[in-house]
């Protein structure tokens, strides 16, 4: 029988596949011409299963900045089974955090943050919705807004006085000051008084240093790119030990919060008798919103967690980096102190009311926030829906990372971006830039509806406590040390890998320290 008329099965399958691919390609091109299907952003190829995860390394902020130089300011990476889009320029950040703000207002369910945030029941990691809005409203009105900050100025003044006093004692004893230890102790006590009417530590020492180390460990662990977050099938294995570490930190932190809440409840009658209220009192009295939404007891614990973590270590990090940069550049340190002497003098301590008259100090703080943002990749955003941003298709269930660190070092935006040069904020277009989310060249607190609720408080803390340290003391490195280690430790925050130590000596008249 003649079989020549039959088609080889392999040839038939190949022909059919080519036809289907041709039709699919035509359909894709047609949809693109009609505006129905935008392309994915460019990005690197990864490896099987893990995708681009191996390209991230131990310093994701700098690795992603290098990849962005190759692939562009809007970049898409497939990491495990998840997709992530990275914005690495001011215009890219604006496209996501302003134009597409509503689509990216949620947070991903990061396994490393689940335990420490009480199952995402805090304000920072909660998804956008009525309860988040209520927590945000309470925090803004009664703790972090301009009026509330003014009401608590006396607490900041008292804790700054105590901090300076402790450092003066170390100076008299010939001991070096560990900058983050001293600042975190002061800030934790300040947050404790405002939130729960109590100081957390009597003075800087073993307990406050252990607290600081716990916060650093927490923020470092929570910022890791955990394999389990991107490959859920292996999440139960906790390959990097992140979840185990976070559960241990959560247990210790929760014990501290429970103890403080019990003490707070026991003192309620005395506070009422004295006519005093703190933030937790206000939340308890206003825990039900107009729409019927309620802040639960777990939400309150989550809020306290937010305030102690974001209110202490992040501000301390900026102050430490600023001092380290100025110790490397004595001329900058001298100019800042000369301005303080001219405006404040040496017969009294700095007051917050002096800050508007200290433009160079403000410029120093902006430059520290530009070069060393406390949250280098911000907090991750998440979209539950397909959307189009800046001409690119972003699939649903994608994370958004805004590389704040890369934006601050973008040579097309900042001349000599690796130089610490506060003068850049005194003249020209940069002089009008503020770090509060309105100028995407400098967004250390993020931008849009999920901008850090404590942005005003953060700026007050940094201005006042850094200014106080510069005004109250002369600074030098310990004997025998000539270089400052400027390495970073990546996490949700970006502290110095080696804490800054320095010798200080009083520079004000003795009555000013009382």
Query: What DSSP line would sit under 57-118, residue for residue?
Result: TT-HHHHHHHHHHHH-SEEEEEETTEEEEEE-SHHHHHIIIIITTGGG-B----HHHHTTTT
Specify the pairing of strand 177-178 against strand 501-506.
antiparallel
Residue for token pair 């990691």: 125
CA distance 262 to 438: 41
Q: Within 267-403, where are the H helices?
A: 268-274, 279-285, 297-310, 313-328, 330-343, 359-371
- Residue 399, strand partner residues: 84, 382
- The HSE-up count of residue 320 (CA atoms within 13 Å, CB side) is 30
DSSP class of 47: B
Contact 44, 356 (CB under 8 A): no
**Residue 387 assigned ligand-binding role:** no
| 273: Cβ contacts below 8 Å, ≥ 6 apart | none
Q: Sign of dihedral through CA atoms 43, 46, 51, 57?
A: negative
CA distance 441 to 195: 33
CA distance 390 to 395: 14
Name the CA radius of gyration of the chain, rounded. 26
Containing 164, the helix (H) or strand (E) segment is: helix 153-172
The total of other beta-carbon atoms located within 10 Å of residue 203's CB is 14
Contact 410, 417 (CB under 8 A): yes
CA distance 296 to 125: 16
| 281: Cβ contacts below 8 Å, ≥ 6 apart | 268, 271
Q: Which residues are annotated as a binding site for heme?
A: 452
Annotated binding site: 452
């Amino acid at each position: 029988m003649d079989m020549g008329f039959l088609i080889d099965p392999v040839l038939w399958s190949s022909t059919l596949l080519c036809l289907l691919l041709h039709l699919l390609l035509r359909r894709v091109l047609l949809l693109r011409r009609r505006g129905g299907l935008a392309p994915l952003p460019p990005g690197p190829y990864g490896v099987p299963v893990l995708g681009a995860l191996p390209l991230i390394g131990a310093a994701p902020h700098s690795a992603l900045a290098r990849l962005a130089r190759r692939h562009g300011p809007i970049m898409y990476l497939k990491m495990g089974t998840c997709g992530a889009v990275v914005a690495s320029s001011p215009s890219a950040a604006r496209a996501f955090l302003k134009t597409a703000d509503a689509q990216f207002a949620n947070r991903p369910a990061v396994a490393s943050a689940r335990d420490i945030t009480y199952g995402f029941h805090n304000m920072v990691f909660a998804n956008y919705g009525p309860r988040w809005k209520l927590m945000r409203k309470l925090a803004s009105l009664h703790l972090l807004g301009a009026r509330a900050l003014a009401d608590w100025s006396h607490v900041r003044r008292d804790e700054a006085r105590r901090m300076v006093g402790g450092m003066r004692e170390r100076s008299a004893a010939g001991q070096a000051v560990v900058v983050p230890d001293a600042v975190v102790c002061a800030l934790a006590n300040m947050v404790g008084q405002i939130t729960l009417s109590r100081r957390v530590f009597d003075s800087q020492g073993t307990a406050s240093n252990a607290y600081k180390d716990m916060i650093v460990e927490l923020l470092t662990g929570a910022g890791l790119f955990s394999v389990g977050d991107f490959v859920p099938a292996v999440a139960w294995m906790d390959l990097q030990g992140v979840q185990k570490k976070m559960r241990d930190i959560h247990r210790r932190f929760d014990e501290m919060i429970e103890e403080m809440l019990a003490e707070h409840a026991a003192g309620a009658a005395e506070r009422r008798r004295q006519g005093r209220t703190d933030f937790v009192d206000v939340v308890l009295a206003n825990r039900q919103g107009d729409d019927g939404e309620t802040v639960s007891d777990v939400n309150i614990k989550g809020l306290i967690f937010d305030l102690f973590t974001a209110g202490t270590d992040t501000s301390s990090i900026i102050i430490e980096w600023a001092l380290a940069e100025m110790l490397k550049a004595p001329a900058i340190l001298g100019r800042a102190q000369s301005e303080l002497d001219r405006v404040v003098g040496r017969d009294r301590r700095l007051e917050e009311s002096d800050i508007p008259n200290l433009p160079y100090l403000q410029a120093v703080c902006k430059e520290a926030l530009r070069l060393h943002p406390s949250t280098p990749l911000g907090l991750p955003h998440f979209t539950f829906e397909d959307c189009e941003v800046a001409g690119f298709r972003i699939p649903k269930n994608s994370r958004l990372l805004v590389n704040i660190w890369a934006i601050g070092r973008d040579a097309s935006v900042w001349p000599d971006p690796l130089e610490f040069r506060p003068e850049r904020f005194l003249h020209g277009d940069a002089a009008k830039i503020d770090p509060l989310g309105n100028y995407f060249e400098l967004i250390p607190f993020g931008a849009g509806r999920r901008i850090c609720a404590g942005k005003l408080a953060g700026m007050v803390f940094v201005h006042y406590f850094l200014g106080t340290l510069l005004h109250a003391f002369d600074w030098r490195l310990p004997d025998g040390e000539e270089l400052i280690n400027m390495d970073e430790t990546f996490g949700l925050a970006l502290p110095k890998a080696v804490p800054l130590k320095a010798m200080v000596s009083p520079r004000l008249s003795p009555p000013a320290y009382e």
